[in-house]
Amino acid sequence: MALDLTKNHVEQLLDALVEQGWYEWPNAVTDDLCSALLAEVESYDEEGELKRAGIGRGDKHQLNQDVRRDKIKWLDGNTTTQQIYLQQMAELQYQLNRALFLGLLEYECHFALYKKGDFYKKHLDSFRGRANRMVTTVLYLNPDWQPDWGGELVVYSEDSSQRLAVITPEMGKMAVFMSEQVPHEVLPTRQARVSIAGWFRCNASIAGQIDPAY
Ligand code: OGA
Ligand code: MN
């Protein structure tokens, strides 16, 4: 189940992050691990443990259904499945630091479930200069995703004027991008859409609070 980071697209990922700020990584994580993660999300949903996501941090935190509609649960590493995923992200953190000198200190991530009709309008995950969230990852957990189901991740140019990519949320795929530079949005989905959104940070974790988005 291990992710072989030396062989599996890591060179392309590092080049793309430097050159364009984002990368679409097919088969970043095995189907076995994705299926196990998906099963966790499905049981959290049944147990009512997924909560409406918000925007803004601390005092400014608010639920804004016009901006985002997903339900989330932060990973706490309490299951073996989560530990395996977090270990793989630790390896990725090491590679990013080694090649790009980003000084990433930790990783925080949440499961996200977008039900039919849900979306997340165009936003940035972090504001420049806050030395906060540096690199975003989004792992998709949806087997047999159909092209007409919507729910794509749209990646925009830094000035928001151009659509650079439209990424379908297929199982095992990971979108990776620079959190301060890449505006992005989730188009309305027509089917349940499950992912793990995560952030490498260069300061202490505030897991459970959500960074500004606009
Ligand atoms: C986010 C986000 C993108 C996606 O959670 O901040 O932009 O494709 N997610 O789920
Ligand atoms: Mn985002």
* C-alpha 194 to ligand 1 mean position (Å): 10
Mark the residues whose beta carbon lies below 5 A from ion ligand 2: 125
The verdict on residue 22 lying in a domain is: yes
Asked whether residue 34 is domain-assigned, the answer is: yes
Residue 154 within any structural domain of the chain:
yes
Round to whole Å and give the CA distance between 122 and 125: 10
Whose C-alpha lies nearest to ligand 1, atom 6?
Answer: 125
Our CA angle for 44, 46, 49, nearest 5°, is 40
Q: Which domain holds residue 113?
A: 7-57+64-205
Residues with CB under 6 A from ligand 1: 112, 120, 125, 138, 153, 184, 186, 195, 197
| Residue 2 within any structural domain of the chain | no
- Confirm if 85 and 29 have CB atoms less than 8 A apart: yes
Q: What domain count does the chain have? A: 1
DSSP secondary-structure letter at 27?
Answer: T
Q: What is the pLDDT along the chain (214 residues), one digit of tens a residue?
A: 455 555 678 999 999 999 999 999 999 999 999 999 999 999 999 999 999 987 776 666 666 778 899 999 999 999 999 999 999 999 999 999 999 998 999 999 999 999 999 999 999 998 666 558 999 999 999 999 999 999 999 999 999 999 999 999 999 999 999 999 999 999 999 999 999 999 999 876 554 455 554 3
pTM of the model: 0.91
Look at residue 210 and tell me if it is in a domain.
no
Q: Is 80 among the domain residues?
A: yes
**Residue among 124, 186, 189, 193 whose CB has most ligand 1 atoms within 8 A, to mutate:** 186
124 domain-assigned:
yes
Both tokens assigned to 75:
């990973």
- Sign (positive or negative) of CA dihedral 130, 105, 86, 50: negative
